[in-house]
Amino acid sequence: MIKVTTYIFALILMTACAKTPQVEIPALIPIPVTLDAGDGSFELNSRTKIVINVDDPAQVKLAGYLNNELLSVLGYDLDVVGQVGKNTISLEAPSQESAQFSELSFQKNPESYQLDVEDLKIRVAATSSEGLFRGIQTLMQLIPLENNEKADKVLLPALHIEDYPRFAWRGLMLDVSRHFFTVEEVKSYIDQMAKYKFNIFHWHLTDDQGWRVEIKSLPKLTEVGAWRVPRTGQWWTYDPPAENEKATNGGYYTHEQIREVVQYAADRYIQVLPEIDVPGHSLSMIAAYPHLSSTELPYKVNPGSKFYTIEDNALNPAKEEVYEVMDKVFTEIAELFPFEYIHVGGDECYKGFWTKDKLCQDLMKKEGMSHVNELQSYFIKRMEKILQSKGKKLIGWDEILEGGLAPEANVMSWRGMKGGIKAAEMGHKVVMTPTTHCYLDLYQGDPQVEPDTYSMLRLRDVYRFEPVPEGIDEELILGGQGNLWTESVYTLGHAQYMTWPRGFALAEVLWSEKDDQDWEEFVGRMEEHFDRLDAVYVNYAVSVFDPIVGLKAQGTGLKAQEGSRLRAQVVMETELVGLDIFYSFDDSYPDEHYPVYTEPVLVPLGATVLRVVTYRDGKQMGKQMRLELSKLTF
Ligand code: ACM
């Protein structure tokens, strides 16, 4: 008897003292503001319960979201209850005794959250459901990936996180005009954004190549404007539509579908910013309603052939009927999109036809304008009035500064940071999205082995992005965003390839503290997140593993000579440390048995091609790259 009692006592003691196993903290992107590792781990299994305030509809939704995510990753369908106990994940308000930091950050930032993982329970705490949602994303990243389908339990590391974003505007833009993306594809894009704590989906809905949103009062916008002739190949080289060729490529979203996407995004605490790009980039609208342009000619929607300066793609700012049409468009847009901002484009407006138009010239005289840029400014100011009448704020590309900025306008700075700086100096709010750091349509590796586009933006340059220029009031910089223009992007898989991992870099730049941003450490975490993308069948680029290859003149005078590339030195480097580069000049496929690059190599006589590949610890990391020496640059 005594023996049994002693045994039971010993067992109780052992259980009380037993530590749950220590497990490694998985990589988190974006890196949280504070993370304190704890002892032990939480065992998540199919008996774990989600605890919420069951009277709060937002929390009921959050529990549904969390449960869905857990179901898809682990196959568990957890009970949702109202009472905290053992083996629970609870969504709560932050506790009073938490650090001083929290109180401040919670006040300042509705997206702040705390996450506690302990032996017996997990707690996500925030003052808003938005904060809880961001915390749930971090929690999901703590779930290990290995063998999840078969696991009857997974261990999450004990830790305490307090976290909040650096910027309130963390966006990605998707252009659905140049190539149309279905509702399901758009939702999938938004879903992935949510996982990395983006909170603005900028939907570029109209452009010269297609009008994508139903406007019930102007049915031709989609009957005509949503369709162009099909073309495949290199953008800007396509044949224009033939005489009787059918416009079969395109599509548009009905009001119902727009509402569905907006709700889908709202459930992920993402605001949808609609863009109606005017007065330029408006050929699809003009194809539907030719009287809105200066020439009034019957153009077709452009399939991606050269047309600038030949066809008139700008609304005529001197016509009153243009403003009547704009009012109709923005009435419906304002009803469809609850976000306080509407984007009116304003970029790259070709004004050549305005200079020849009598109405425009008369208006300029009447208003005392000396430059056509002032006509655009006049137009944008009237857009602002229209939007204000619908309770909305205007945002536009930085060209809206030209000719004078509208009084309350917000500026999206894309041609570098200077437009944003100028706007901020005048006290306007700014979103920074310079081509130099944020254009996701650009190459992310050597053009010879990347999908066709026109300029370069490597991952490390995205990670170097600093949205607040020196000397500018941080309060005026709302944040930043990545822009994916889709002239050369035909499919969702390609859109994903262009977005990730550069989207990881932007997510971290826009969320995490500047001092916590560390390139080498980031790329290590990035690799773990490639596995997460694999697990959900989302595409991404591994171009960051490829070498950067250039040429160096050998000796003096050679560079200038005809054919100098063929007697130059090849210079190679990598964006990441720890990669070995193997190469061949004989057009055979290099691997670890080939020469390893250590210093500039003289191009052998007769060689016209360089093949390179990178390895790390015996594993091929980069692509097999076949580079024509004649296309490399000094
Ligand atoms: C732009 O890239 N045209 C805003």
Residue 435 Cα: closest atom of ligand 1: 2
Per-residue pLDDT at 84? 83
Residue 397 Cα: closest atom of ligand 1: 4
- Which one of 111, 207, 441, 508 is the catalytic residue? 207
Residue 414 Cα: closest atom of ligand 1: 4
Amino acid making up residue 630: S
Q: Which residue's entry shows tokens 């505007």?
A: 169
Amino acid making up residue 264: Y
Low-confidence ranges of the chain (pLDDT < 70): 1-18, 95-107, 147-149, 555-567
Per-residue pLDDT at 151? 82
Residue with the nearest Cα to atom 3 of ligand 1?
347
DSSP notation for 134-150: HHHHHHHHHS--TTGGG
With the most atoms of ligand 1 within 8 angstroms of its CB, the residue from 347, 395, 402, 453 to mutate is 347
In angstroms, the Cα distances linking 505 to 309, 310, 461 are 38, 40, 9
Q: Is 348 close to ligand 1, i.e. is its CB under 6 Å away?
A: yes
Q: What separation in Å is there between the alpha carbon of 381 and the centre of ligand 1? A: 20
Residue with the nearest Cα to atom 2 of ligand 1?
414
Active site residue 580: no
Model confidence pLDDT, tens digit, residues 133-146: 999 999 999 999 87
Q: What separation in Å is there between the alpha carbon of 265 and the centre of ligand 1? A: 24
Domain 7-163 in this protein, CATH class = alpha beta
Active site residue 207: yes
Confirm if 441 and 488 have CB atoms less than 8 A apart: yes
Query: What CATH number labels 171-540?
Result: 3.20.20.80
Q: Is 414 close to ligand 1, i.e. is its CB under 6 Å away?
A: yes
Bridge-based pairing state of the strands 393-397 and 341-345? parallel
Active site residue 348: yes
Q: Return the C-alpha torsion angle 353, 355, 360, 362, nearest 10.
A: -150
Burial of 36 (0-12, 13-18, 19+ CB in 10 A): exposed
Residue with the nearest Cα to atom 1 of ligand 1?
347
Residues with Cβ < 8 Å from 480, sequence gap 6 or more? 167, 169, 170, 171, 431, 432, 433, 437, 438, 465, 467, 506, 509, 510
Q: How many CB atoms lie within 10 A of CB 411?
A: 30
Q: Is 347 close to ligand 1, i.e. is its CB under 6 Å away?
A: yes
Q: Map residue 474 onto helix, strand or coil.
A: helix
Q: Is 416 close to ligand 1, i.e. is its CB under 6 Å away?
A: no
Name the residue among 254, 39, 49, 240 with its Cα closest to residue 159: 39
Q: Map residue 122 onto helix, strand or coil.
A: strand
- Which one of 202, 204, 281, 437 is the catalytic residue? 281
- Which one of 69, 119, 347, 348 is the catalytic residue? 348
401 forms beta bridges with none
Residue 345 Cα: closest atom of ligand 1: 4
Domain map of the chain by residue range? 7-163, 171-540, 546-631
Name the residue among 581, 608, 331, 341 with its Cα closest to residue 448: 608
* Measured distance CA(526)–CA(227) in Å, rounded: 39
Per-residue pLDDT at 6? 42
Residue 483 Cα: closest atom of ligand 1: 2
